């Protein structure tokens, strides 16, 4: 199965994302990386990343022999990566190739960003770059991971962990959450929303949400949160409360809270805050100059509250965010 970079001509300053594919790698996470980082973005008027695959061998059998990957670059392509996505695979107890681990260590030493999807955390830990660092992995491998890598600060009840230059996602679908988080971090909320729309995937699930929900598919259609979520997203500037949302859904606040936990893995208040913060970021990217106006229109109340939330959740002040993603920066939407 031949595969080459999705971009034939690359701008010199385009961020390079390289995925290492090794024997028995999972196709799903490879597909997630390709969808998020490898596709052209004509709707944005520009490409976001220079993307390519590489492998230590000319022929790479994927998980369970589903197919064989050929025609990709050699492992030397990892040397030019700004972001390196490491191999993940189901046989977590089998040691990774020394050449792959060495490539990861060299990338880390020169300051590249490292990303592990699902069992990719095992690859990063085996390379020694996670010692003393925060990370996550799929909940079913938590005990095995802790036994093998006790120096890693494993967080087992989150979707993904952003520890600066090393990011890890808990499981298969969480690879999409982390990928969109990276796009948001690199290009802003507006661009990330555009990518999520093309994926037909939720634009933002905070990394701190639980890895799994109690009931992934509601037992009864009338228990779906979709109507009240859609209504709340249209009224984020209003003084929404949990009791008000519960009344809108014709349930008690306790029942609403249980349904949020069961269906979204978070609380109503945490969901509201994340949605409002995402709206505030979009308003800044679209050029709204007044911080108090952004705070009011997003439902966050005051500029001081918005500033505190952005520092805590995004790591940037509103002014820093505007300088990085505002109109005319080339980062936000055209």
* pLDDT tens digits for range 251-307: 999 999 988 888 887 899 989 999 999 999 999 989 998 999 999 999 999 999 999
Dihedral-angle region of residue 30 (phi above 0 means left; psi in -120 to 50 means alpha; beta otherwise): alpha
pLDDT score, position 206 = 61
CA-to-CA dists, residue 157 to 154, 161, 265, 273, 276, angstroms: 9, 10, 10, 20, 24
Model confidence at 28, pLDDT cuts 50, 70, 90, reads very high
CA-to-CA dists, residue 240 to 218, 294, 301, 307, angstroms: 25, 17, 12, 20
CA-to-CA dists, residue 142 to 43, 88, 117, 153, 326, angstroms: 40, 15, 14, 11, 40
Model confidence at 199, pLDDT cuts 50, 70, 90, reads confident
Non-local CB neighbours of 185 within 8 Å, separated by 6+ positions: 162
Model confidence at 223, pLDDT cuts 50, 70, 90, reads low
Model confidence at 202, pLDDT cuts 50, 70, 90, reads low
Residue 125 tokens, joined: 């830990």
- The mean pLDDT value for 173-188 works out to 91
- Asked if the model's pLDDT at residue 171 lies above 70, the reply is yes
DSSP 209: S
Q: 127 vs 230, which has greater pLDDT?
A: 127
- Asked if the model's pLDDT at residue 224 lies above 90, the reply is no
- Asked if the model's pLDDT at residue 129 lies above 80, the reply is yes
- The mean pLDDT value for 64-87 works out to 93
Dihedral-angle region of residue 296 (phi above 0 means left; psi in -120 to 50 means alpha; beta otherwise): alpha
**Strands 160-162 and 166-169, sheet pairing:** antiparallel
- The mean pLDDT value for 107-134 works out to 96
- The mean pLDDT value for 155-179 works out to 90
- The mean pLDDT value for 208-225 works out to 53
- Mean pLDDT score of the chain: 86
Residues in the chain: 334
pLDDT score, position 221 = 41
- Asked if the model's pLDDT at residue 312 lies above 70, the reply is yes
Model confidence at 207, pLDDT cuts 50, 70, 90, reads low
Dihedral-angle region of residue 126 (phi above 0 means left; psi in -120 to 50 means alpha; beta otherwise): alpha
- Asked if the model's pLDDT at residue 24 lies above 60, the reply is yes
- Asked if the model's pLDDT at residue 6 lies above 80, the reply is no
Please say whether the dihedral angle defined by the alpha carbons of residues 94, 167, 109 and 8, taken in this order, is positive or negative. positive
Among 244, 21, 248, 253, which Cα is nearest to 120's? 21
pLDDT score, position 102 = 97
Model confidence at 172, pLDDT cuts 50, 70, 90, reads confident
- Asked if the model's pLDDT at residue 156 lies above 70, the reply is yes
Model confidence at 220, pLDDT cuts 50, 70, 90, reads very low
pLDDT score, position 256 = 92
Q: 165 vs 1, which has greater pLDDT?
A: 165
């Amino acid at each position: 199965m031949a595969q080459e970079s999705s971009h034939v001509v690359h701008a010199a300053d385009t961020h390079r994302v390289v995925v290492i594919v090794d024997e028995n790698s999972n196709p799903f996470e490879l597909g997630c990386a390709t969808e998020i980082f490898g596709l052209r973005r004509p709707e944005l008027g520009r490409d976001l990343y220079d993307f390519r695959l590489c492998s230590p061998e000319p022929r790479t059998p994927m998980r369970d022999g589903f197919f064989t990957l050929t025609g990709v670059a050699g492992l030397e392509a990892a040397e030019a990566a700004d972001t390196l996505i490491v191999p993940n695979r189901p046989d977590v107890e089998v040691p990774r190739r020394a050449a792959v681990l060495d490539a990861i260590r060299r990338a880390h030493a020169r300051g590249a960003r490292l990303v592990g999807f699902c069992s990719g955390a095992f690859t990063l830990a085996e390379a020694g770059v996670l010692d003393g660092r925060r990370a996550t992995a799929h909940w079913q491998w938590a005990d095995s991971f802790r036994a093998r890598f006790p120096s890693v600060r494993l967080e087992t009840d989150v979707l993904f962990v952003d520890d600066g230059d090393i990011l890890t996602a808990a499981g298969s679908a969480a690879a999409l959450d982390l990928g969109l988080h990276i796009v948001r971090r690199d290009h802003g909320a507006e661009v990330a929303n555009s990518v999520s729309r093309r994926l037909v995937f939720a634009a933002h699930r905070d990394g701190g949400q639980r890895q799994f929900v109690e009931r992934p598919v509601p037992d009864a259609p009338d228990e779906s949160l979709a109507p009240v979520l859609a209504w709340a997203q249209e009224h984020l500037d209003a003084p929404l409360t949990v009791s008000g949302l519960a009344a809108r859904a014709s349930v008690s606040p306790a029942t609403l809270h249980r349904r949020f936990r069961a269906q979204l893995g978070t609380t109503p208040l945490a969901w509201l805050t994340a949605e409002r913060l995402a709206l505030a970021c979009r308003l800044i990217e679209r050029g709204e100059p007044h911080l108090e106006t952004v705070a009011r229109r997003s439902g966050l109340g005051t500029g001081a509250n918005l500033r505190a939330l952005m520092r805590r959740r995004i790591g940037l002040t509103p002014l820093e965010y505007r300088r990085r993603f505002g109109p005319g920066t080339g980062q936000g939407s055209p």
